[in-house]
Structure 1
Amino acid sequence: MKLHKLLLFLLFFAFASTAVAQSSSQLKRKKEAIQREIELLQRNLDKASQSKKLTLGEIRALSAKINLMQNKITVINSEIKNLDSEIHENTNTVHSLQGQLAQLKKEYAGMIRFAQRNRNSYDKMMFIFAARDFNQAYKRIKYLQQFGQYRKKQADYIQGTEKNLNYKIVVLDKSLKAKSNLLREQESEQDKLARNKREQASVLNQVSRQEKELGRDIAKRRKQQQAVDRAIRDAISREIAIARKKAEDEARAAAAKARAENKAAPVEKAKTNSNYLTSTPEAAKLSAGFENNRGRLPWPVGQGSITENFGRHTEGEASYTNDGVNILTADGAAVRAVFGGEVLFVRMIQGIYVVAIRHGDYFTIYQNLRSSSVAKGDKVETRQNIGSVATTSDGPVLHFEIMRGQSKLNPEAWIAK
C-alpha cells in the first residue's frame, strides 16, 4: 500500500509539473513578444530623436513603450510566481521522497537482519521441517520464495526512489537559479522603466513649450482625416445607392410581373443600409464570415505595436478623436488585407494612399500607404499584400479602421490579441 501511494503521488506531481511547465512556456513566449515590440518602438524612437522637433508620434511611441515595459514586468512577476509554486512543490516532493527512502531502507535493513539469521540452507530446511503438517510446510516454502522476491523488489524501489530524489534535487536547484535570474531581470526592467518615465516627464515638459506647434500638427492631421472620411463616406453612400436602386428595380419588375399575372404584388419590409449592402448571397456570406472572425482577424502588418488607440485623445489643450488605431511598424512594411473581399477604392489623398476593402456590409480602411498593389474592383484574400507603409515624421505608422456601414468600430475588438 505504501508503494502504491508513492507511485500515485509521483504521477500526480508529474502531471502538476507539466501544467506549470506549459504555463511557464506561454509566459516566456509572451515576454519575448513584448520584448520584440519594445525593440521595434525603441528603433523608431532612436530615429525620431535625431530630429529636434517633437512629434505626436514620438510622444505616443514613448507612452506605448512604457506600457509594454509595465506589461513585461507583470509577466516576469507571473513567471516568478509560477517558479515559487514549482519550488514549493519540488521541496515538498524532496521531503516526501526522503521520508519514503528512509522508511524503505529501514524495512530493507530488517529483512537483511532476518536473512542474516537464516543465511544457510540448513536453517531454511529446519524452518520448513518444523512445520506441523505438509500444508504448513508448503506455505513456508512459498513464504521463503516470496520473501526473496520481495527483498529484490525493495532493493529496486530504493534505487528508483534514490534516482528520483536526486533528479528532483537537480530540478529544485535549477528552479532556484531560474528564480534568481528572473529577480535580476525584474530589477533591470524596473530600472529601465524608471529611466523611461523620467524621459516621458521631460517630453511632457517639452510638450508645454511646443504646444502651438503640436496644435497645428493636430489641426493638419484632422483636416487630412476629414478628407479621408469624406472619401470613405461618399464611396459607401454610392455602394448603398447602387444596391438600393438595384433592389427598387427588382421590386418594380416583380410588381409588374404580378400585375400581368393578376396576382397581388409582394410586400417587402423596409430595408436598412446594411440590408442593401448584403442584398446578394455573396455579400451576405462575406458579412457573416467577417463577423464570425471577431477577435481573430490577422493584423494588417506582420509586426507592429499600437501607439494610439481608438477613441478620444487630448494633447495639451487640443483634443481629437481617432476613428481607428495607429500601428507603428517597420520601414516599408507590407500591408495585408485582414479578410477577403473586394477593393472599394484606392485613392491618393494629400500625398498618401488610402485603400478601402468591402466585406459585405463591413469595410476595412488602410491609411498612410506609400504604394498600392491593388485597384478598385480587385478581389483580395485574407493576408494578401495590398501595399506598403509610408514613413512620415511619426515614423512608419499605419492607420487602420473598421466600419459597418457608416458606423466606426474599434479595431482592437476585431484583430487577434
Structure 2
Amino acid sequence: MRRRIIILCVMVLTAIPAWSQNIQEQRERKKQLEEEIAMIDKQLDTTAKKRKQSLNTLILTRKKLETRKKLIARLDSDIAGYDLSISSTNAEITRLNDRLDTLRKYHADLVRGAYKTRDSKVWFMYILSSKDINQGLRRWAYLKNISFSVRQQASAIKSTELDLQLENARLEELKAGSMQARNEREKERDALSAEERKANSMVVQLSKQERSMKRELQKKQKEVEQLNKEIERILAEAVRQQKSGKGQAVDYALSAKFGDNKGKLPWPVKGVVIQKFGQNYHPVFKNLKMPYNNGINISATAGSTACSVFDGVVKQILVMPGYDQCVLVQHGEYFTFYCKLKRVYVKSGDKLSTGDRIGEISLNEDGNAELHFQLWKGTEKQNPENWLR
C-alpha cells in the first residue's frame, strides 16, 4: 500500500510544476480575456444605441463568443490544475500521517525503554550481562543516547504535525479555489449559450437584408480595390526610386530592428480585430467572398487614437473614398498604413517613435472607431497579426 502511495506521489508531483509555475501567467491571460469581453460589451452597447442589427454587431458578438470559449478553456485548465494539486496534496497528507504513526510508535518504544532503565543499577546490570566487550560498548552507547533519542523523536513528531497542518490548510485552499473556478465556468457557459442564441437570431434577421447587403458589398469592393491600387502604386514607386538612387536611402539598420521585432510590435490601437488579413467570407452569406483584405480592421471605442507601432518617418498622407485620411509611415524597408482617420496629428517628413499618436480614428456606422491597418515589406504585403504582440 505504501509503495502505491509513493508511486502516486511521484507521478502527480512530476505533472504539477507545469501548472503551478505558470499559474501567474494563466491568471494574466484570464484577466486579458475578461478585459477583451468587457471591451466588446462596451462597443456592443454603443452599437445598440445606433441600430439594433448590423454586420459589425454580428462580428463583434461572434468575437465575444470566441473569446468566451477561450476563457472557458482557461477555466478548464485551471480546474485540471487544481485537481492535480489536490491529488498530490492528499497523497502527501497520507504520507505524513503514515510517518506520524511510525514516529509515535517509535517514540513510545523509546519512552518505555527509558522508563525501564531509569535506575542506574539496571544500567550496570544491563551492561555487565553483555556477551563481550563490543556488545557492552554498544549497550553503553545506547543507554547514554536514549534520552537524546527520545527528545529527537519528539521534535520529529512536532515537525511532522506542523507539516501535516500546513498541508491540510493548503488542501482546503485548493478546494476553495477549485470550487470558485467551477462556479465561474458554469456562469461563463450560461452566458455562452445565451450569446449563441443571440448570434443565431441576428443571422436570421440580417439574412432578410440580402439585397441591400450585396449593394453595400459592391460599393465596398470598389473602395477596397481603389485603396489597394493606390497603396501598391505608392510602394512600387518608393521601391523604384530607392533602387535607382533617386529616392531617400533605405535605413537598413532600422529595417533590421523592425524585422527583429516580429511578433513584438505594439498594437496601433487597443481593440478587436473584426476583419482579418486575406480572403474572408461574408458573416451571413457564407458562400459570398468579401473583398480581399491587405491588412486588418480593428474595432475600438469611440475617440480612440492610432499610434505608431515602431520608429519611422511619415512618408505620405492621402485621402481615399471610404477610408478617410490614410497615413503611410516608413520603417526602412518596411511600411505601415493607418487608414480611416478623421483627424491627423502628423505631417509628411515627421519622425515618429514607437507609440507616438498619428491621428484620431473615424467612427463607423455603428458609432465605434474602426482602424484599417496594413504592414508591408517593400511591395510584399504582410499579415499584421503575425507582427503584433
TM-score bracket relative to the smaller structure: 0.7 to 0.9
The reply to whether residue 397 of structure 1 matches residue 370 of structure 2 is: yes
Percent identical among aligned pairs is 27
> Cα distance, 1:212 vs. partner?
2.4
**Aligned mates of 1:364, 1:396 — CA distance in 2:** 19
- Does the Cα contact within 8 Å between 2:16 and 2:84 map onto a contact in 1? no
> Cα distance, 1:129 vs. partner?
5.4
- Does the Cα contact within 8 Å between 1:83 and 1:179 map onto a contact in 2? yes
**Aligned mates of 2:123, 2:203 — CA distance in 1:** 94
The reply to whether residue 411 of structure 1 matches residue 384 of structure 2 is: yes
SS in structure 2 at match of 1:331: coil
Partner of 2:183: 184
Partner of 1:304: 271
SS in structure 1 at match of 2:381: strand
**Aligned mates of 2:342, 2:140 — CA distance in 1:** 93
Q: Name the Cα RMSD after superposition.
A: 2.8
Q: What is the TM-score normalised by the length of structure 2?
A: 0.88
1:101 partner amino acid = L
- Does the Cα contact within 8 Å between 1:341 and 1:379 map onto a contact in 2? yes
1:392 partner amino acid = N
Q: What is the TM-score normalised by the length of structure 1?
A: 0.82
- 1:3-402 correspondence to structure 2 within 5 Å: 19-52=18-51, 54-128=53-127, 139-246=138-245, 280=249, 283-301=251-269, 303-315=270-282, 316=285, 317=288, 319-350=290-321, 352-394=324-366, 395-402=368-375
Q: Structure 2 vs 1, CA of residues 382 and 236 (structure 1 numbering), >3 Å: closer, same or farther?
A: same
SS in structure 2 at match of 1:401: strand
Q: Structure 2 vs 1, CA of residues 121 and 16 (structure 1 numbering), >3 Å: closer, same or farther?
A: farther
- Does the Cα contact within 8 Å between 1:311 and 1:323 map onto a contact in 2? yes
SS in structure 1 at match of 2:273: strand
**Aligned mates of 2:348, 2:77 — CA distance in 1:** 49
**Aligned mates of 1:235, 1:209 — CA distance in 2:** 41
- Does the Cα contact within 8 Å between 1:235 and 1:344 map onto a contact in 2? no
Partner of 1:251: none
- The alignment covers a number of residue pairs equal to 378
**Aligned mates of 1:297, 1:187 — CA distance in 2:** 36
Q: Structure 2 vs 1, CA of residues 121 and 11 (structure 1 numbering), >3 Å: closer, same or farther?
A: farther
> Cα distance, 1:15 vs. partner?
9.0
Of the structure 1 ranges 192-201 and 407-416, higher mean CA displacement relative to structure 2 is found in: 407-416
**Aligned mates of 2:52, 2:9 — CA distance in 1:** 64
- Does the Cα contact within 8 Å between 2:251 and 2:332 map onto a contact in 1? yes
Q: List gaps (5 residues or longer) in structure 1.
A: 1-5, 248-275
> Cα distance, 1:103 vs. partner?
1.0
- Does the Cα contact within 8 Å between 2:9 and 2:88 map onto a contact in 1? no
- Does the Cα contact within 8 Å between 1:334 and 1:389 map onto a contact in 2? yes
- Does the Cα contact within 8 Å between 2:12 and 2:87 map onto a contact in 1? no
SS in structure 2 at match of 1:358: strand
SS in structure 2 at match of 1:32: helix
Partner of 1:272: none
1:304 partner amino acid = G
1:378 partner amino acid = D
**Aligned mates of 1:161, 1:198 — CA distance in 2:** 55
- Does the Cα contact within 8 Å between 1:56 and 1:214 map onto a contact in 2? no
> Cα distance, 1:128 vs. partner?
4.5
